[in-house]
Amino acid sequence: MNTLLKDVFGVFKFAEGLYAGIRKVLVPPKAYSWQTFIYLSVFSWVVSYFAIGYIKDIIAFFGWLFLIAGTAWYTTEDPLRVPGTFMPVGAVITGFLVSVFAFGNQQDVITPRTIVFWPTISALITAIPEFIEGNDTDAKARIPKPEDRQRIIILVASSMLLSCWIQFHFVMNNWFQEYPSLQADTFKSSTVVVRTEERLKIPQNGAIILEKLQPIVVEEIAQRPWSEVERWLLPKYVKPRVGTLGRGVIQKNLGKYEEKELWRVEPRVANTKSGSMSEYILDLLSIWSGPSSNPRGYYLKKSCRIAALAATINSDNKITVAEIECDRGSKLFGGTPPPQLGESKEKTNSQ
Residue by residue, DSSP assigns 71-104 as: HHHHHHHSPPBPTTSS-BHHHHHHHHHHHHHHH-
Q: What is the pLDDT of residues 44-77, one digit of tens each?
A: 888 888 888 888 888 888 888 888 888 877 766 6
pLDDT of residue 132: 76
Number of domains observed in the structure of the chain: 2
pLDDT of residue 67: 84
Q: Which of 136, 163, 178 is the last residue of a domain?
A: 178
DSSP letters, 295-337, are TT-EEEEEEEEEEEEEEEEETTEEEEEEEEEE-SS-EEEESSP
User: Which residue ranges of the chain lie beneath pLDDT 50?
Assistant: 344-351
Quick one: 171 and 211 in the same domain?
Answer: no
Quick one: 170 and 220 in the same domain?
Answer: no
Maximum Cα–Cα distance for the chain, whole Å?
121
Quick one: 170 and 212 in the same domain?
Answer: no
Inside any domain, residue 137: yes
Quick one: 7 and 149 in the same domain?
Answer: yes
Inside any domain, residue 259: yes
Quick one: 128 and 261 in the same domain?
Answer: no
Inside any domain, residue 191: no
Measured between alpha carbons, how far is 321 from 331 in angstroms, rounded to an integer?
A: 29
Measured between alpha carbons, how far is 334 from 330 in angstroms, rounded to an integer?
A: 13
Q: Which of 135, 162, 178 is the last residue of a domain?
A: 178
Inside any domain, residue 252: yes
pLDDT of residue 242: 92
Inside any domain, residue 186: no
Quick one: 245 and 330 in the same domain?
Answer: yes
Quick one: 319 and 278 in the same domain?
Answer: yes
Inside any domain, residue 308: yes
Q: Which range marks the domain in which residue 26 is found?
A: 2-178
Quick one: 48 and 145 in the same domain?
Answer: yes
pLDDT of residue 135: 63
Euclidean distance between the first and the last CA atom of the chain, given in angstroms as a whole number: 119
pTM: 0.65
Quick one: 167 and 258 in the same domain?
Answer: no
* Alpha carbon of residue 67 to chain centroid: 32
Quick one: 174 and 38 in the same domain?
Answer: yes
Quick one: 121 and 266 in the same domain?
Answer: no
Measured between alpha carbons, how far is 304 from 281 in angstroms, rounded to an integer?
A: 6
Quick one: 105 and 37 in the same domain?
Answer: yes
Who contacts 62 (Cβ-Cβ below 8 Å, separation ≥6)?
Answer: 40, 44
Q: What is the pLDDT of residues 134-165, one digit of tens each?
A: 665 666 778 888 888 888 898 899 999 999 99
One-letter identity of residue 32: Y
pLDDT of residue 349: 39
Inside any domain, residue 83: yes
Inside any domain, residue 188: no
